[in-house]
Amino acid sequence: MEFRQKYIEGESAATTDARGLLCGHFDLLIVAPSWDARSVVITNSSEFSADDCILLLFPGRDPAGNRDRNERLLLDFTRRSCARVLPVSGPSLSLDDTWASLWQAIKRKAREAGRPLKLALDLSTFPRFYSLAAIAGCLRLGYVSEIWVLYCEGQYEPGAGSSGPDAPEYPFSVGEWDTVPIPFLEGRRAPGKKKYVIVSIGFEGSKTLRVLAREDPDRISVLLPDPGSKPGYPAIAEEKNKPLVEMYNVPPDQIVRTNAADAISAWRELGQAALERPEGENTYYLSCGTKAHALGMALRAVCLEFPCVLYNVPERHNYVQVTPTGQYWTFQIRDLSIVRR
C-alpha cells in the first residue's frame, strides 16, 4: 500500500518473517519494553543495526514477570545492534515529564547528527502519546528524512472476548479516560465553530462513548477496523460501539472501514473520504482503536495541520495477555522535501 499527501509519502508492507522486519543501518532506534510479547519481536531482526537506541523504560510491571524478561531481551538486542543505548525513564502516565525527557533525547541526537535522521520505531506496544508525538515532531521540524515503523498484530487470550451483546470488553485500561492533545498534534481551533470528531473504535466501546459524551461533539465519523487481526474482531468492535453509532446517528457514509493493522491504508482511506469540514468545524481525531489506525490519523493531521489528535489517559493500564499473530508490518514514511545524500 502506498499513499502520498503533501510532502509526506508512506508505504506499508506485511510479512510473516520476523527476521526481515527491519533491515539496514539506522541513525536512531526508539523502543519501549512491555509485558506484551510483541515488544520483543524486533529482536528477531537479523540484518539490523543503528548508531543509537533510545530505550524508554516505564516502571509498570505484571504479575507474570513478562515486563522484566522482555526488558532484558531488548537490552541484549540493542547492545548487540546499536553503538549506544540511551535509557530514558519515567512513569507512563506522567505525560509531561516523561515526554520532555524523551523529546530531549531525540533532539540531542538530531543536533549531534547535524542532518535529517533515518529513524526506526517499534509502535507495537509503544504508548501512542509518546510514539505519535515523536513521529509528528520529527516530521514537522525536519529531524528525519525517513521513519520506519514496526507494527505486530496481536491476538488476545482465548475467552477474553467474543461477538454478541453480552461479550465482555477487553480490559486494556482501568478507570475512566481523560483526553489530552498529543504534542505537535494540537491542531488549530477557532471559537464559534462547531465540534467534529473522527473516532477510531476498538473493543472498549463503553469508555469511548463516555469520552464522546464529555467532548459533546456536534458531528462524528467512525474509523472501523475491518478486516481485523482475527476474523471475529471487526464484529466485536461493531457490537461494542453500536450504542455510539445509534446515539450519534452516524450514517453509513460517515463510517470508514480499513485494515486494523495497516496505518498507510487508514491514512489513505481517511484522505479519500475527506470527511472534515474545516470552514465550519473544529476537527478532532480521537484514537480508541488500534495503534496502526492512530498512526494513520496522525499522518493525516500532520499534513492537514488543523486537526487536533487526542490521547485517552487511563487511570492505569491493565495487564492483558497478548501474543503476536505472526503477521508483521512495516510502515516506511518519507519526507519528500528533504534531499537525500
Q: Residue 28: which of 73, 82, 72 has the closest Cα? A: 82
| Cα–Cα dist 154/321, whole Å | 10
Q: In b/e form, how buried is each residue of 116-141, taking b as 16+ CB within 10 angstroms?
A: bbbbbbbbbbbbbbbbbbbbbbbbee
Q: Is the pLDDT of residue 1 over 80?
A: yes
Q: How much is the average pLDDT of 233-247?
A: 93
With helix as H, strand as E and coil as C, how does 259-322 read? CCCCHHHHHHHHHHHCCCCCCCEEEEEEECCCHHHHHHHHHHHHHHCCCEEEEEECCEECCCCE
Which band of pLDDT confidence, cut at 50, 70 and 90, is reported for residue 318? low
Structure confidence at residue 315 (pLDDT) = 66
pLDDT tens for each residue of 8-45: 999 999 999 988 888 999 999 999 999 899 999 999 99
Structure confidence at residue 161 (pLDDT) = 42
Which band of pLDDT confidence, cut at 50, 70 and 90, is reported for residue 288? very high
Mean per-residue pLDDT of the chain: 91
| Cα–Cα dist 41/323, whole Å | 10
Scanning 54-125, the segments in alpha helix (DSSP H) are 66-81, 95-113
pLDDT tens for each residue of 99-108: 999 999 999 9
Give me 102's grid cell. 524523551
Domains detected in the chain: 2-157+321-335 (3.40.50), 173-317 (3.40.50)
Q: Is the pLDDT of residue 160 over 60?
A: no
Helix (H, G, I), strand (E, B) or coil at 328: strand
Indicate the angle between helix axes 128-140 and 291-304, nearest 10 degrees. Answer: 30
Give me 42's grid cell. 524486533
| Cα–Cα dist 28/20, whole Å | 18
Tell whether pTM > 0.85.
yes
